[in-house]
Each structure stands twice: as C-alpha cells, then as structure tokens.
A and B are shown apart, each in its own frame.
Chain A
Amino acid sequence: MAIIEVQDLVKDYGSFRAVDGISFEVGEGEIFGILGPNGAGKTTTVECIEGLRSRDGGSVKVMGLDPERDGAELKQVLGIQLQESRLPDRIRVGEALDLYGSFYRKRSDTDRLIEQLGLGGKRKTPFGKLSGGQQQRLSIALALVGSPRVAVLDELTTGLDPQARRDTWDLIEQVRDSGVTIILVTHFMDEAERLCDRIAVVDSGKLVALDTPAGLTARVSEEQRVRFRPSADFPDALLLDLPEVTRVERSGSHMVVSGGENLLQAVASVLARNHIVAAELRVEQVSLDDAFVALTGKSLQN
C-alpha cells in the first residue's frame, strides 16, 4: 500500500523549472532513496512532500493528507531532517530534544534515542560546542523525536566519520524495522546501495529511473570483468573460445576478461585445465556509480 503518492509534481523558481513532472509512490515500511547530482531537484521534491514548499502543479498525498492543506496534521506523523539547519548555539542537547518532543502528541523515548545516536554523554553540551557530526546526529534525533510514521532525511550522513555513518545506517534500519517509512535524499552511492529498497534517480528536475539498486545496475549492463595475473603466458583464443567471454585485454602482466553471467566459473575452469594459476584475481562488477553515470551522464563525486 502506498503511503506517499506523488503525481506529476511541478515546482518553478521564477522561470526555472526545478521539478518537472515527477511521479512516484512509496510503500509503507520502505526505505526509498532519491539520488541525483547537485541541483537536480531532490531537495525541492522532498520539501513539497513535507509541505515546506508549495507546488506549482501535480498532487502530493502523504498518508492520504495533502501537505499544503493539512500541514499541521501531517507534521504530527512526519519526521523531518533538514540540510543546513542549526539550533541556537546555547541550547543544550537534552533541552533541544525535550523542546522538540513537546511539539508532538506522541513522543519517542528520548533517552533511548540519545543513546542510539551516541549522544549519551552530551546531554548538557550546548549545540554550538558539538562537533559537526554530533550536530548532524542531533538533527537526526530531532527528526525521530515525535515517533513519526514517515521520516524524510536529507543528506543524512553528510559530515559524519565512517564509523558514525555505519552506526547511523544501522539506526535507520532499526527505525524502518519498527515500521517507519523512510525517504532518504542522498548523493552517496554506498549509502543508497546499502539502505534503499528502491531508488529514484533524479536529474534536471525529472525522474530518469526508478528501480531497486540491483535493477538499476542491471539496467545499464550485465557485464562482469575478471582481472588476474596468469602464472604462464597463453593465447587469448583459449578464453575467447568460451561462450561466456566477449573480450580479452592485456594490461601489463595482467589480463582483463569481460563477459556475461558465470564468467568467473568458466575462466577459472579453463585456466585450471591448462595448469595456469590466476594470481591477484579480482572480479569487477558494474557499480551503482557506473549506472548513475550511464543514466545521467554525470558523476556524483565531483
């Protein structure tokens, strides 16, 4: 059952069309990713879902509510993490959670939330004295403090160190397991791949693809590559004769063999039969990164 329905969403900033007819549905309990380069319209799209921006066309329904008309009611069940929003420098972690908790009819267990986000020792620390990563974690806590049914997290792990990112991913999975639907705006491929059930790839205000992470990569290419250093030289034909192999290239002492499904198995058995050992063996697959570049013609890491 769709908990969020977006139909032909349009948003203009003056003469610039930031969102140009985007449609998608998010199912209950799903982690739904919105992926795209900077300025693609990701944040504008979720702001229209959150009711922070008025749309210029199309319809948006979240749990049957219109974010523009039923904003206050919707916000009772919607947890929002914003990019680049701060709190007053002198407010303490505990005070901020207590204050924001008081805004909701149903509040989470703030003590547990503080512990889960690793802020247990920081209750009395003022916001301005927290590190960037701690501020980010507090903003995640504030998004979850009202026991939301839907959480919209914009650039969730920006500014976090690798360990904190992994901890945050675990937390998001726990939150989802408790029945919360999550929309994740991100430009990190590994994050999208690890967390998202489905990903909407957005570019220049348009939806260019909507699929599971595996579906997105498969859509671009099924090709696999095997790279290794052979213990003895042998003619390319040995491998090219295999139906699984499409291409053989040499780079220095390494060979790179490209092909379709079961490539590794086929190559390995031929080599074994010819008593050749494949050293430094590596299998390379099309990554979500490659898929993204193929879909949008842009790279995310710029």
Chain B
Amino acid sequence: MRSLGKLIQIEARLFLRDPMTFIVGLLLPTVVLIGLGAVPALRERSEDIGGQRFIDYFAPSTIVMAVGVIGLTNLPVVLATYREQGVLRRMRATPVAPAQLLLAQLVVNIVASLASALLVIASGRIVYGVPLPQHPLGFLIAFLLGITAVFALGMLVAAVAPTARAATGLSTILFMAAMFFGGVYLPRFMLPDAVANIGAFVPPGVQSLLDAWTGTAPAAIPLVAMAATAIAAGAVAARVFKWE
C-alpha cells in the first residue's frame, strides 16, 4: 500500500510536469468552452437546437474532449512508452508488481479527467451561466460509465500497440473518431441523423451526458453499451497486455 501511494504521488507529479498533458488534458476543454462562449451568437437561444443556447448544448462535447484527451491519448501513450523504455520491466525486478504502476496511472488519469470535467462544468456555470447538470444522478452514472469505457479502450490500445509510436497512431485514430461522434468537430445538430445516433453509442456517450445535463434521465441502451464496451475492452486488454 505504501508503494502504491508513492507510485500515485510520483505519477501525478510526472503528469503535471508534462506541459502537454497539463495544458491539453486539463485546461484545453475549458479554454474551448470559454472561447466559444465569447461569441455572442453562441450565447443566444437557437431554433436549430430546440431553443437551447449553443453553449449549453456544446458543454457535454467539451467533457467528451476532456475524457478523450486523457483516456484515449495520454494513458495509452504513457503506458506504451513505459513498456518500450523498460520502465515496466524494471518494476518487475522489484518486489512490487508492475500492475501497481498501471493502477497508479489509471488513478492519476481518472482523477485528471474528473478534474478537467469539473473545471468545464464550473467555469461554464460561472462565466456563462451554463446550468449545472439537471439530473445529477443520471449525469454521474453516464459520466462514470462513459469514462470507464474510454479508459478501457485506452488500456486496449496500450495492450496491443507494440511501440510508443504505434500507440500514438492508434490512439489518435480512436480519439478523432470519439471527437467526431461526440460532436466536438461539428456540432451534432449539423451531423446527419444516422451519425448523430451512432454518437450515442460511441464512448463516452455524449447523448447520455446531454440528456442528463438538460434534465432527462439518460436512455438505458447507450448506458448498457458503455458498460459492455468497458467490460469487453478491459477483458481483452488484461488478457493481451505484455510487460515487455
């Protein structure tokens, strides 16, 4: 336990010391939301999106971004680099299993995603009056299942990528897909219905987040899909993960 605590502490410091993870992972989603909100038209109610303000409608997409940057790009690339450089192998030569280093990475990255999401919610609320999630329990469930599915996919990339470069390539593809379906590149009301519908099932599940944010209980089937993705990807990752 003492070594796990130390590992979490050191991995957290390393996370914060890397300007890329710190700026892109923790701050960028909030910067994007604040930046878009600075455009007056985006703070007005629009018939295109059922009378909502764009800024309110877009907030869940910035959460998708926060979770995606950290879980789909940072996590797998760090782990693949650790494998490639022999950091995991070095751990195997100690009494502490390298699985603890994986666990420490998961804890640090999950906490960072939570922090990034909270920063989005808080700054949206304070700066532009974006309402807090109206269905808090639903939001919490949707967020936790979504983040679990994303992190399981990130672990799967870390497990199958033979090198850090391969991990970077694979995770970029997954990240871009998640951002596209999550309405980060184009707002979802501008996407064809079929694409927008698929987006409900692509982790972390932007539709569930949006529903819960605006006060409706998130639909069950997309939530089940998130749980299934998490279990399937996590199980495969655990099975094929190599330490060296």
Do A and B belong to a common assembly?
yes
Give Cα distance in the complex from A99 to B11, angstroms: 11
Q: With A and B bound together, what is the CA distance between A52 and B243 in angstroms?
A: 11
- Asked if A103 and B94 sit within 8 Å, CB to CB, the answer is yes
Asked whether, in the complex, the Cβ of B96 is within 8 Å of the Cβ of A103, the reply is yes
Interface flags, A43-80, vs B, CB<8A=1, else 0: 00000001010000000000000000000110110001
* Across-interface contacts of A76 in B (CB, < 8 A): 95
Residues of A within 8 A of B7 (CB): 99
Q: Is A95 touching B10 in the complex (CB atoms < 8 A)?
A: yes
Q: Are A82 and B86 in contact (CB under 8 A)?
A: yes
> Are A90 and B95 in contact, CB atoms less than 8 angstroms apart?
no
A87 touches B90 (CB 8 A): yes
Chain A residue numbers with a CB within 8 Å of B86 are 82, 84-86
Query: Does B93 belong to the interface (CB within 8 Å)?
Result: yes
Q: Is the CB of A103 within 8 A of B14?
A: no
Complex Cα–Cα for A73 and B82 (A):
25
Q: Which of B2, B87, B89 contacts A88 (CB 8 A)?
A: B87
- In this complex, what residue of A is CB-closest to B94? A103
Q: Decide if B6 is an interface residue (CB 8 Å cutoff).
A: yes
Q: Is the interface of B mostly helix, strand, loop or mixed?
A: helix
Q: How many residues of B contact A (CB 8 A)?
A: 21
Closest Cβ–Cβ distance, residue A148 to chain B (whole Å): 11
B94–A86 contact, CB under 8 A?
A: no
Contact between B87 and A90, CB atoms less than 8 A apart: no
Smallest Cβ-Cβ distance to A142: which chain B residue: B90
With A and B bound together, what is the CA distance between A98 and B164 in angstroms? 27
CB distance from A280 to the nearest CB of B (A): 50
Evaluate contact between A91 and B3: CB separation under 8 angstroms: no
- By the criterion CB–CB under 8 Å, are A90 and B93 in contact? no
Q: Cα distance A146–B3 when bound, in Å?
A: 13
CB contacts under 8 Å to A, within B1-52, are 2-3, 6-7, 10, 13-14, 17-18
Q: Are A72 and B95 in contact (CB under 8 A)?
A: yes
Contacts of B14 in A (CB 8 A): 88, 90-91
A38 contacts the other chain (CB 8 A): no
Q: Are B10 and A103 in contact (CB under 8 A)?
A: no
Interface presence of A228 (CB below 8 A): no
Task: Pull 9 A–B residue pairs with CB atoms less than 8 Å apart, ordered by A.
Answer: A50-B93, A52-B93, A75-B93, A80-B94, A99-B10, A102-B2, A103-B3, A103-B95, A146-B95
Chain B contacts to A: CB under 8 angstroms? 2-3, 6-7, 10, 13-14, 17-18, 82, 85-87, 89-90, 92-97
- A: residues with CB less than 8 A from B are 50, 52, 72-73, 75-76, 80, 82, 84-88, 90-91, 95, 98-100, 102-105, 142, 146
